[in-house]
Amino acid sequence: MSEAEIKDRVAANFKRAFIQATNGCGRQMCLNKYCNQIRKGFWTNPNLTALNLLNIAKQAPDGDLEKSTDFIFCETFTPYFSASELINQDPQTIFDVFSDISSLGLSFYINENITETNPNVDWVGFHEILSKMNGLVQKGVLPKNWLMGAVKKYSLTTYRNLYYPRVALMLLTVPEGLEIDNYHVLIFLNAVLCSSPQLLENFSHLIDTLDSRILQVILWHLQQFISLRILRNLRNKDLLEISWAIRVMETIYNSNEKYKRINYQEFYNEVVNKEINLKNEYKYWTKQRKNKNKPNFDKEFTFASYPWIFDSNSKSIFLQLESKEQMLREIEMGSLMYVLGLDDPFIHLEIRRDNLIEDALTRLSSGDLNIKKPLKVHFVGEDGVDEGGVRKEFFQLIIKELFGPGFAMFNYYESQRLLWLNPNTLEPNTSFELIGKILGMAIYNSIILDLHLPLTLYKKILNKATSIEDLREFDPDLVKGLEQLLEFEGNVEETFCRTFTVETFSFGHPIIQELIPGGSSILVTQENKAEYVEKYANWWLNDGIKDKFEAFRRGFLKVCGGEVIQWFKPEELELLICGNPVLDFHELEKVTEYEGYSRDSETIQMFWEVVHSFNENQKKQFLKFVTGSDRAPINGLGSMKFVVSRNGGDSERLMTAMTCYNHLLLPAYGNIERMRRLVLLAIENAEGFGLR
């Protein structure tokens, strides 16, 4: 092309762009931001329009706007239809609409208000058309793969990319069936979306405005595809296709994090959690993290890069792997130092029972102590080697004492049976740091703690924002009063007589705290009551306990400061620390071991008949009696070691338990009535820890 021809081409494109920018392309709906069709008035100043186009042309090769990556010419007009218009068209016309990105991308609208952030899809009409076409498939008029035939005709241009996210959104709801080889459309859509960060971003904008019903349909199709691909033995091609599906799922997950519509557990994939080798995944993941800054970064796909796909049990396994890796490093280093007479590979706690807190605080606050080592506990003056039981008893005892009324570090809210940090405690911050360390060490040593803390605390550990709804969790009466203030339409000053302060009590004496500088002299009014409620709730959740919580979190992160802990949701972190509230005693029966009894013993048969007849509260009481906690391990009672031993013949003696070892000592009661009466008497009157 000669220089003159190039100039003519540039001039022609500039003229075409100027007309489009000032007059529009003539479509009723257009997504092109450089077209005046949807930006009425945006390009109306001719001089400014010309200047803008010249600036864009400067970035293009040879000044040619058609070659610019920042400018999109509206392409030749293609027909588009509402569902009511298309339902009466012949199959070829419908096929042609599905074969053209911009045509399908503008069809099936409810009203003429399609934007880059609002898909505005007539879902009922869209699926009616699909039903019509599938009916023609059943009659043999259309081939089974008609939709893939239409999709294969797609040719992407910069302009058509504007409509592709809406097309993908609609087609991802199409039920292709469960056959493994019947996911060609889904694979194609995912591959194209993942080929461009801009396409994924625009797709995510549409996801943000999607209702939960359609969102779940798309998520279900993606989950089903991933599951079936895994179950047929993974190949490299499968992993590539799965990686596309998971990246599309990630846009849905991130959108749902911003605008909650479906439960986070919907993103768990059961097959991934059951079939994938988590140990290998952890290795791939750690390898990627180590190599990410190297020139030859290994980009091998790993599920661990998308932790939301794992359930709480799998995440706990990853945490154990991370913990084990860190512990092994400490043991290896410690063993070397130990050989040299310089260090010990374990943490050894020498604890006096009558001086539990002081001894633990002194030892765990030692600057030369690495608290990520495995823990071994010895109670002074007592025989025995810690094989796990003594360690468990230590955690039970120290938690009971630290969270008890004697230290007054926590306030107890009886209506909710929950504890929250006491803003007026006289205990030093080091005690709160000790609690944080204890919780972290319990995780690292696989100990379930009997804690009654609100979910809010776990949110704060993970740096999640709090709101008045979190305050409601442990003090609903306070929140009810604040809501009554917000709803009041009269004279707030005279009726409520409040200032920007919060009043608490310490040993019966009132303590006044200002919510804002000078708050004691600022009355709460109709105009500022919303600010007052926000400040008041925030004081209880954050400001009033700031130093204490920061010390607690600091202690926790000294033990659990790795990356995996950040994978957890607050609910999952609570499960990890406090165990699973779901109690399946049939699973426990399957794994129980016996000493002096057999599985077929009459006493054991009666025992399980009684236990299985318990209501939920009695089940909790029983579990707490034998383990010290009313919750199961994170992956259920079937993962727990439980032993039942014979403890004498038929008598009125109560059964006893060694909670440190999950060991029940059961007399051979002679009949089921006596068994039921004495077992219930034992669990309903049990107090304390250790041997009962």
Contact residues for 328 (Cβ-Cβ < 8 A; gap 6+):
none
Helices (H) and strands (E) in the chain, counts: 29, 10
Chain-centre distance of CA 266, in angstroms?
10
Can you list the residues of the chain whose pLDDT is less than 50?
178, 295-298, 338, 340-342, 688-692
d(CA 131, CA 83) in angstroms, rounded, equals 12
Which pLDDT belongs to residue 181?
Answer: 56
CB 341 within 8 A of CB 311: no
The burial class, CB within 10 Å (0-12 / 13-18 / 19+), for 350 is: exposed
Which pLDDT belongs to residue 297?
Answer: 41
- Report phi then psi at 656, rounded to 5: -130, 170
Give the E-state strand segments of 304-387 in sequence order: 347-351, 375-379
First-to-last C-alpha distance (Å) of the chain: 96
CB 59 within 8 A of CB 48: no
Which pLDDT belongs to residue 362?
Answer: 84
Q: Alpha helices of 491-580 — where are they, by DSSP H?
A: 492-496, 529-541, 546-559, 570-578
Which pLDDT belongs to residue 629?
Answer: 84
419: which strand partners? 412
Give the closest residue to 100 by CA, choosing from 156, 40, 42. Answer: 156
- Report phi then psi at 508, rounded to 5: 85, -5
Which pLDDT belongs to residue 40?
Answer: 55
Handedness of CA 476, 482, 487, 489 (dihedral sign): positive
Q: Name the residue type at position 482.
A: L
Which pLDDT belongs to residue 133?
Answer: 92
The token pair that represents 173 in the structure block:
């709801």
CB 607 within 8 A of CB 644: yes
CB 82 within 8 A of CB 108: yes
Contact residues for 627 (Cβ-Cβ < 8 A; gap 6+):
448, 640, 659, 662
d(CA 157, CA 168) in angstroms, rounded, equals 15
d(CA 176, CA 171) in angstroms, rounded, equals 10
Angle between helices 164-171 and 197-208 (to 10 degrees): 60
Question: Which domains occur in the chain, in start order?
Answer: 3-67 (no CATH), 83-308 (no CATH), 323-461 (3.90.1750.10), 467-541 (3.30.2160.10), 581-684 (3.30.2410.10)
Q: Name the residue type at position 69.
A: T
Per-residue pLDDT reduced to its tens digit, 502-521: 999 887 889 999 999 999 99
CB 133 within 8 A of CB 91: yes
679-682: which pairs have CB atoms within 8 A and are 24 or more residues apart?
679/607, 679/610, 679/611, 679/622, 679/655, 680/618, 681/654, 682/625, 682/654, 682/655, 682/656
Contact residues for 104 (Cβ-Cβ < 8 A; gap 6+):
80, 97, 98, 163, 167, 170
d(CA 429, CA 548) in angstroms, rounded, equals 6
The token pair that represents 623 in the structure block:
């579990």
d(CA 186, CA 192) in angstroms, rounded, equals 10
The token pair that represents 16 in the structure block:
């075409």
d(CA 141, CA 138) in angstroms, rounded, equals 8
CB 439 within 8 A of CB 432: no
- Report phi then psi at 412, rounded to 5: -100, 125
d(CA 364, CA 349) in angstroms, rounded, equals 8
d(CA 655, CA 662) in angstroms, rounded, equals 13
d(CA 357, CA 376) in angstroms, rounded, equals 16
CB 578 within 8 A of CB 629: yes
Q: Alpha helices of 195-308 — where are they, by DSSP H?
A: 197-208, 212-231, 236-258, 270-275, 278-291
β-pairing verdict for 643-646 and 593-595: parallel
Handedness of CA 133, 134, 137, 138 (dihedral sign): negative
β-pairing verdict for 418-421 and 593-595: unpaired
CB 501 within 8 A of CB 511: no
Per-residue pLDDT reduced to its tens digit, 106-141: 999 988 778 888 899 999 999 999 999 989 998 988
DSSP per residue over 141-185, as a string? SS-TTHHHHHHTT----TTGGGTHHHHHHHHTTS---S-TT--HH
Say whether 660 is catalytic: yes
User: Which 8-state DSSP code applies to residue 503?
Assistant: E
User: Which 8-state DSSP code applies to residue 664?
Assistant: E
Which pLDDT belongs to residue 336?
Answer: 52
d(CA 29, CA 179) in angstroms, rounded, equals 38
The token pair that represents 194 in the structure block:
């993942």
Which pLDDT belongs to residue 178?
Answer: 43
Q: Which of 35, 560, 578, 660 is catalytic?
A: 660
Per-residue three-class SS string for 291-322: HCCCCCCCCCCCHHHCHHHCCHHHHHHHHHHH
